[in-house]
């Protein structure tokens, strides 16, 4: 029981790799849709990357939204990525505030 709960909190099927469902260039960023399996549904998730940033860490997002169809989760993941870029731009990659 606790193992199943832990897996759901981590975003899906334990250590199963997260597959790339789609990619999109948007306003100088790359959005990578990577929906995560959550029971019988797919949770909206992905990464936002800065092309040419080398090994810089991507901005990773996982949302509460989930869909029964994988393709729908990919589409919404790309849309969420666009919205995050529109709302935050470069500040997505700012270090977290301390103190």
Give phi and psi for 26, each to the nearest 5: -150, 120
Q: List all residues 6 or more positions away from 75 whose beta carbon is below 8 Å from its beta carbon.
A: 22, 33
What domains, with CATH codes, occur in the chain? 2-92 (3.30.160.350)
- The conformation of residue 89, written as its DSSP 8-state character, comes to G
Check residue 67 and give its pLDDT: 97
* pTM for the structure as a whole: 0.78
pLDDT per residue over 3-31, tens digit each? Answer: 554 454 455 555 556 789 999 999 999 99
pLDDT per residue over 75-90, tens digit each? Answer: 999 999 999 999 999 9
Position 54 pLDDT exceeds 90 = no
End-to-end CA distance of the chain: 37
């Amino acid at each position: 029981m606790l193992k199943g709960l832990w897996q759901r909190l981590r975003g899906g099927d334990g250590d199963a790799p997260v597959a790339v469902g789609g990619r999109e260039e948007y306003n100088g960023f790359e959005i990578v849709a990577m929906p995560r399996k959550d029971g019988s549904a797919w949770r909206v998730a992905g990464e936002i990357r800065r092309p040419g940033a080398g090994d810089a860490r991507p901005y990773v997002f996982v949302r509460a939204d989930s869909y029964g169809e994988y393709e729908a989760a990919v589409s919404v993941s790309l849309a969420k990525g666009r919205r995050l870029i529109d709302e935050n731009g470069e500040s997505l990659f700012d270090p977290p505030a301390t103190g």
